[in-house]
Amino acid sequence: MAHSEFTELRRRTIVKSLLWRVVGIFWTWIGVYFIILIVPLTWKNAPIIATLIVIYHHSTRMVMYYFYERIWAAISWGKYDLREGKFHVMSMQGKIIWTFSTLIVMGVMFFLVIYIAPVIKEVGG
């Protein structure tokens, strides 16, 4: 087994975990929303909806996680180089991208909470 020359700092692991949660929440929310819209009225009962959600969730999340980890493997921020005894800092470009990405995600979250949630309540009864 090959020994890794890098280890992750705690802050990198925390950021990866939190970001994965955000991605998962949005992905599941979008999928469930479309499942509920697409399923015919004759199929709309709890066991069928639950089964479709589980199939959607687990079949897509495994693929997503693979690509998520591959993307993070290419990001050097938060990696500690065991050979050199130092960690990689985030570049200015990385900080700008991270800031704008965070603002976009927060904007989408507020949009879902402020605009979409009342619409769903209204349609649902």
Task: Say whether pTM exceeds 0.85.
Answer: no
pLDDT tens, 57-74? 889 988 999 999 998 888
* Residue 1, pLDDT score: 45
Alpha helices in 4-91, H assignment, sequence order: 10-38, 46-74
Q: Percent of the chain having pLDDT more than 70?
A: 86
* Residue 73, pLDDT score: 86
Q: Averaged over 84-109, what is the pLDDT?
A: 78
Q: How far apart are CA 54 and CA 32, in angstroms?
A: 10
Q: Where are the domains of the chain?
A: 1-87, 90-125
What is the three-class DSSP state of 98?
A: helix
pLDDT tens, 76-89? 888 887 777 776 67
Which tokens hold the place of 121? 């309540």
